[in-house]
Amino acid sequence: MPLVIVCTILGIISGNSERATLAPPTIVLFYSLFLLALLIVRNKKVILFLMLCISLFTGVAITQHHKQQYSKQAQLFNSYTLSVVGTILDKKEYECSQQLIVHVHQFHTTLNRTWHPINAKIIIYTKNHPPLQIGDIIEIPQLSCAPLNTDKLHFMQRYGYSGSSSNVLCIKLHHRPIWHLKNLVHRTKNYLNTQLKQKLNTQTYHLFCSLFLGKHEKCDNLDLHIPFSYWGLNHYLARAGLHLLILLLILNYLLSFIFFGFTTKTLINTGFACGYYILTWNNIPFIRALLVFLGCQSAHIFKIPVRSIHILNLVLLGYVLLNPLDIFFLDFQLTFAITYILLIIGSHAHFSHSQ
């Protein structure tokens, strides 16, 4: 498994090069030859070599597919003035503007009024704060996306945003569903955040949000990062697996006073972790820790002997296959590198102690 992951990452790095281009017939031909060789060959070393070649080739292929698909959509949104219809996936309120993330279903240009299907995401900003909700189907006539600089282009590629418009003046509401799960979750999160803001003093609220909610609020009179930076503890303000572990330890301590079975306690821990994920603002370190925790809990329930590092390998492989561009960003690199180092040190210490 580690060699497969390494070869996949090397393939992604190679596929990210501007010179690396693979046509669909070439991809089909290579996969056909590799699979045919796997069926014919019986030597284990040759089979391992073929699997590593497939991993390397898969990394190149998925990166090229991801970049080519994004380039087509980004060129469309940044080259033409479009009218689009889409669903609101998320929204954020600011003092002077409102940010909307829209999943675009249809579009047409100013020259051709025929609606065409598309599957793309865009970010728009509007200053008039329209009363829109997550799940609303909207139309944006005359959408013009701003050209992207290099840094913003990398961010947009990573999250799959095909365009960004900073001042949208006209948004038409087409349909509002009676009930929408994402809208319910969004309203519940904001309600809990508002209640905490009202009940807690400023310092406690901002510290609690940073540590346990993953939400970084602006604070004019308080800078928490200065004392934490002074003592070299600034990383504790970024919510990650450590904070999930602290809450799970507290929950398990409370459950120890109740006579539940092992399976019941495992299900309660899993439900708590999933609810905590849904009702807070998440980042890659927290999602990585949650996926590893869920993998370990599943192994315990089904009585599968497995080590945490194997589950981390599966999580990393799933991440790079779903979004290969993640590996070029520092937060992704640090969270997995540090976790691997800690697991290896822990395994070595456990082995030395058992000896």
- Which helix (H) or strand (E) segment is 83 a member of? strand 82-93
pLDDT digits (tens, 9 = 90+) for 130-182: 888 999 999 998 888 877 777 788 888 888 898 888 878 888 998 999 888 99
Residue 49 has a pLDDT of 80
Overall average pLDDT of the 29-50 stretch: 74
pLDDT of 22 strictly over 70: no
Overall average pLDDT of the 284-295 stretch: 89
Rounded to two decimals, the pTM is 0.83
Between CA 45 and CA 131 the distance in angstroms is 62
Between CA 289 and CA 230 the distance in angstroms is 27
pLDDT of 221 strictly over 50: no
Residue 88, classed as helix, strand or coil, is: strand
Q: Quick one: tokens of 290?
A: 């949650």
Residue 43 has a pLDDT of 76
Residue 31 has a pLDDT of 67
Lowest mean pLDDT segment, chosen from 110-124, 235-249, 263-277: 235-249
Asked if residues 311 and 299 have their Cβ atoms less than 8 Å apart, the reply is yes
Asked if residues 123 and 84 have their Cβ atoms less than 8 Å apart, the reply is no
Mean pLDDT value across the chain = 82
> How many CA atoms lie within 13 Å of 268's alpha carbon, on the beta-carbon side?
17
Residue 102, classed as helix, strand or coil, is: strand
Asked if residues 3 and 47 have their Cβ atoms less than 8 Å apart, the reply is no
Phi, psi of 218 (to 5 degrees): -75, 135
pLDDT of 26 strictly over 70: no
| Torsion sign across C-alpha atoms 316, 318, 324, 330 | negative
Dihedral angle of Cα 104, 108, 113, 117, to the nearest 10 degrees: -60
Burial class from Cβ neighbours inside 10 Å (0-12, 13-18, 19+) for residue 355 reads: exposed
Burial class from Cβ neighbours inside 10 Å (0-12, 13-18, 19+) for residue 99 reads: middle
220 falls in which pLDDT band (50, 70, 90)? very low
271 falls in which pLDDT band (50, 70, 90)? very high
Lowest mean pLDDT segment, chosen from 65-69, 236-240, 340-344: 236-240
Q: Quick one: tokens of 332?
A: 């992704």
Residue 117 has a pLDDT of 92
Between CA 268 and CA 13 the distance in angstroms is 41
CA 6 to chain centre: 21
3-state DSSP helix/strand/coil percent for the chain, to nearest 5? Answer: 60, 15, 25
More confident residue, 187 or 29: 187
